[in-house]
Structure 1
Amino acid sequence: MKIGYFLSSEEYTPAELLAQARGAEQAGFEALWISDHYHPWVDAQGQSPFVWSTIGALSQVCRLPVTTAVTCPTMRIHPAVIAQAAATSAVLHEGRFVLGVGTGEALNEHILGDAWPQTDVRLEMDEAVEVIRELWRGEFVNHHGKHYTVEHARIYTRPDTPPPIYVSGFGPKSIELAGRIGDGYVSTMPDADMVRRFRESGGGDKPCQGGFKAAYADTADEGARIAYERWPNAGVPGELSQVLPSPRHFEQAAELVRPEQVREAFVCGRDADAHLDMIGKYAEAGFDEVYVANTGPHWQGLFDLYQREVLPRLR
């Protein structure tokens, strides 16, 4: 199983993300995820740099493969622009780049004033993936579809091989879509049924990536305090994460979240066994790659823990 590190754009400055990427490579992590947000979930997280600038900079500080986890190529940024951004990223990373896509959240995608579509409509906008792949062929593209128009567009800077496109999915319809159109699958839940549905819907033996959050600290209680302070939205249930439009609304919803709910969603403290147990859950569910994110200021402690105790025991 490949073990990677998840760069949280919602919480760290661009310089901190680059420092974490260097630290992750030195610690022995094998790959990177990076989130794409216009806003943080709550103001306590406090950041949200433009992911494509950061991805370009990452190519100059480490040689780890990078996956967007995930970007939404349907509303805030037109798929023709995503196609160019991803192609350039793949060139900069010398092919070590995966475009992870999903249907997004209103938190990030409503900013241009467009109506936030219902789930079925957002899934129908998988036309965006068709546009991206068509542009990656290197010819002039004229596309007049239900959701997108592209006229006389050609991407000149392209890698020798187009990047894989991995698709995120949580509900049955989105997972089945991922199986039909994705080169791989992305999830943040160690759920064997989800992996099985992906594989049975056309995913076959394509890669499945999963990820979880940690809060490194001297004690589990201190880690849980940091997690609740920075990520109370982790306990917000159901479809609220897709429909709430701003950090302010997430903060209001998070007032109903109890600290123990957030603690259950994180691996808190510095117990290597707890991290290994969580990684084991993803392995048992059938994932091929697992990415861990740290919240709070002690990310170097997490790197040291993985280098010293976690990664050697996995290998």
Structure 2
Amino acid sequence: MKSKLLFLATAILFLIVLAACGNTEESKGTEEDSQNVNAESDGPEVVVDGSSTVFPIMEAVAEEYQKENPDARVNIGTSGSGGGFEKFAAGETHISNASRPIKDEEKASLEEAGIDYTEFEIALDGLSIVVNKENDWVDKLTVKELNKMWSSYGDVTTWADVREGWPEEEIQFYSPGADSGTFDYFSEVVLGEEGEIRQDASLSEDDNVLVQGVTGSKNGIGYFGYAYYAENKEQLKAVPIVNDSGEAVAPDQETVQSGEYNPFSRPLFVYVKHSALENEAVYNFTEYALKNAGAMSESVGYVGKPDSAYEEALQELDSIAGK
């Protein structure tokens, strides 16, 4: 009986030791996995996030870059200008795309995180106010009318509320989400610092969802970057906007470049983390982006800047990277 008890105790002790070893190996494996994840942040993948407006440009750049560099990996997200800056400050990205300049509170977050960065202006955009192709009554809009339509304090429900003679049809509103730089820009220009967008507007960070909303509704109106309008011209109508000279001007490459399409002509940006440029993959991609941003911008429907502007940006990049 004693021998059986001794055998049983020995077996239990062996199982306990075996389980402990297994846990140790599992912990060791988890630690190694964590180290691998951290190591990958300094690896060949370039991580970019931010504005959905800038996305078509950087997507085009990345596609061409990866054709020329088959081993390169570029991951581009579209969490909006604000969402992109949050990830940038959290150390999750190397480059942040934005359709508006960085805000003071975002600068403070980056400073607190000890992140140095440089802003590069890569293209120009004409924020486009669009209606359904079947809409045959809207010939132009003023900023004052846009304010009346989009403000949460306005009393606009139908087109007839905007202008006498327009149909008494209920308007459907489509807007980028609150994390979007396009939302911020439109709100600042149309609603002012204290204004708020109407509560019944359908919001999305995905501009393609907004395109689908307006194309699917005869009484829809929305706004987004010019490239998304240019890609869907057969289904949408860009509304001419009365500028500061009193002229109704539609967005196109010429009116955006000249500034005639105001107040909705605007620059587009990328923000590059200085420490990330120590990674050769990030430096090479950024250099390629600045060399080709003009051509890529125009290929997807935006407006490129003068060649001299990109040459200056490349010199600044090399200075930051110590090249």
Task: Please give the TM-score of this superposition, normalised by the length of structure 1.
Answer: 0.31
- Greater relative contact order (CA < 8 Å, ≥ 6 in sequence): 2
